[in-house]
Structure 1
Amino acid sequence: MATAVFVRSYISKLPEGQIFATRELLTFGKRSAVDKVLQTLTLKGAILRLARGIFVRADVGLETPSLEEIVRAKARAFSKLAVSLGCVVAKKFGLKKSTKNMSPKQKVQHKKNEEVNESCAGRYAIVGATTSFETVHGRVLFKAVAPRKHILAQNKVGRILVALWHLGKSSSVEFEALQSMARLKRPEKKLIKKLAAWTPSWLNQYFLNGTLRADICAPADLDFLRRGSSENRKRSKKEDRKYKMTALSTTSKKVRESIAYYKVA
């Protein structure tokens, strides 16, 4: 009984539209008890199940959270960070992996991977084990990648390297045209040469063909990409502003109506 009260109280105090995970409620009772309460609330239409273990309060006039928001919440529930997958970035730039030098077995596997990718609503890279799950928008794939790829993918410049890495050394890419499509500024063009040292030698070779410069040296580590990502900072600030006000202090009529639901025995 106490578990149900605590879970309902917690959910009612969440800001409007904030996604929450089952993990946040495990201090209120056993997993089986928490799951039972969430199942009851879902059946009553009080909350919306976005994915396994991921929910949002069904406020009046609620807009279904985007796939990106659901993916971030799912990854966060397992202390992971979902970033762009190399094949997704490559496709964005209109680049395809060459099958010319692949063995018959590799071609079969490549075709299978393409079919899996096309059937997914979203594909993301994580550090850990490959997994997939269903969401209200469709199936999402979390693919395990090397830590270097994962960190590089957290930065605009690094994502270009991840895309080239995915294509492989047999692919022929006009790098100047790719830089133009990515709209890289001068400092970013300099940074990509520095980061290339953290990629395989065949990829780094792309950036050694020009004039060598003493002021372009490889960083000692890639932590600055994780800490200094402008996209992550903007996203964090946006979420902080969004979740600063609690639902109990809001004057929104639709939130007050939703809260009233939880106060009914």
Structure 2
Amino acid sequence: MKSLPKTILKHALSLPEGGVLSPKEFLHLGSRSAVDQAFCRFAKEGKLLRIARGMYTAPVTSRFGSRAPAPEKIVHALAEHHGEVVVSHGASAANSLGLTRQVPIREVYLTSGRTQRLQLDHSEILVRHAPRWMLALGARQAGAAVRALAWIGPSLVQQSLVSLRQSLPAAEWQALASARAMLPGWMAQAIGKEAARG
């Protein structure tokens, strides 16, 4: 039978980039202290990266050395691990939809789960709990539009909607217009006004 540390490392290296693992997954192979000790040793040696309490990921190794996995891959792997929805923050969504040229300095994501801070090398990723209406349309463009509008706010919503109506594919614009009932009043009203322009 393989030793506990070898089993942990083999599993970690078999995961796709950003895949997460927890000591709890290995408690059937040894005592809690033995499992924790193995994870602790791998983190000190740089074979695993501790991203949050009880959550680890393997660094990506290439011929140029090793680096931390891409933040979005870790965030999405964590969401899958916990059965949660995770999407880009409104500022990122607004940038990707061409509504702003501002590039967010900090990595922020929205989730249906609890708010948590992830440590990745020398940077911090914030995964913030969001209300259900912000996540309702998911990662599709219509969902990004909802989050972008929420970030932009009521004062600039109308001009942003004019731009979105021209840039979004017809099916995405229709999905956005159809979702009005679950959105905040100011946003629903603005979308209705733009949709009524024919």
- TM-score normalised by the chain length of structure 1: 0.58
Q: Which residue of 1 aligns with 2:135?
A: 150
Q: Which residue of 2 aligns with 1:242?
A: none
One of 158, 167, 173 as aligned partner of 1:173: 158
**C-alpha displacement at 1:127, in angstroms?**
1.8
8 Å CA contact 1:124, 1:142 repeated in 2: yes
Q: Give the secondary structure class of the aligned counterpart of 1:40.
A: helix
Pair 1:212–1:178, CA change in 2 (3 A): closer
Q: Which residue of 2 aligns with 1:189?
A: 173
**C-alpha displacement at 1:17, in angstroms?**
5.2
Q: Which residue of 1 aligns with 2:28?
A: 27
Q: Does residue 1:70 correspond to 2:74, yes or no?
A: yes
Q: Give the secondary structure class of the aligned counterpart of 1:143.
A: strand
Q: Which residue of 1 aligns with 2:14?
A: 15
Q: Does residue 1:88 correspond to 2:92, yes or no?
A: yes
CA distance in 2, matches of 1:194, 1:34: 50
What are the within-5 Å matches in structure 2 for residues 115-130 of structure 1?
Answer: 118=105, 120=106, 122-130=107-115
Q: Which residue of 2 aligns with 1:235?
A: none
Pair 1:27–1:207, CA change in 2 (3 A): same
**Cα displacement string for residues 98-124 of structure 1 (whole angstroms, at most 9, x for unaligned residues):** xxxxxxxxxxxxxxxxxxx74x3x100
8 Å CA contact 1:152, 1:162 repeated in 2: no
Q: Which residue of 2 aligns with 1:51?
A: 51
Identity %: 21
What are the within-5 Å matches in structure 2 for residues 167-246 of structure 1?
Answer: 167-174=152-159, 175-180=161-166, 183-209=167-193, 210-211=195-196
**C-alpha displacement at 1:151, in angstroms?**
2.5
**Cα displacement string for residues 33-70 of structure 1 (whole angstroms, at most 9, x for unaligned residues):** 2121122233345x231523212167664653211112
State the one-letter code of the partner of 2:162: E
**C-alpha displacement at 1:167, in angstroms?**
2.7
Larger radius of gyration: 1
CA distance in 2, matches of 1:58, 1:176: 42
User: Which one has a larger percent strand, Structure 1 or Structure 2?
Assistant: 2
Q: Give the secondary structure class of the aligned counterpart of 1:54.
A: strand
- CA RMSD, 1 decimal: 3.2
Q: Which runs of 5+ in 2 are unaligned?
A: none
8 Å CA contact 1:126, 1:143 repeated in 2: yes
